[in-house]
Amino acid sequence: MTAKILWISRHEPLASQQAELKRLFGEDVDIRIDGNPFRDASDIQARMRETNADAVVCVAPISVLKKLTEHGILPLVAEMAIVPKGDPRAEVEANGSGGRAGRKTRYYRFVRFQRLTGVEMRYEDVLPWR
């Protein structure tokens, strides 16, 4: 049985990420790429149903990831590590804060996928200053 993975991101999966998904889910894994913007966690959940996806790789705000886990969807999240400029392992180049002046370019390599099982957000009251 072929596993179906829904990839929701503005960016296509790296070759190393595709290779890791094949290692984890089998050589014949079906990776469905969806680069369209999403509204919320319910939208992602609907897309998973539409594609009959077994798992989702999702680049999303932490609040959306939290809501997915509350709905029983445990998304795969790519762990990326910063590497120095010129490092042959660099797979992604990212300009800090939208490429504004004074922001450094960073270089990343893919490390592994992790399954997000929950998000804890803790708050405290804001007290008057002084």
- Render pLDDT for 30-76 as a digit per residue (tens, 0 to 9): 999 999 999 999 999 999 999 999 999 999 999 999 999 999 999 99
User: Would the pTM of this model clear 0.95, i.e. be above it?
Assistant: no
Q: Closest Cα to residue 24, out of 57, 47, 52?
A: 57
What are the tokens at 23?
């290692």
**CATH number of the domain bearing residue 22:** 3.40.50
Give a yes or no: residue 110 inside a domain.
no
Q: Give pLDDT, residue 4.
A: 97
| Domain with 42 in it | 4-78
Closest CA to 117 of 74, 57, 62, 81: 74
Give the per-residue pLDDT at 102.
62
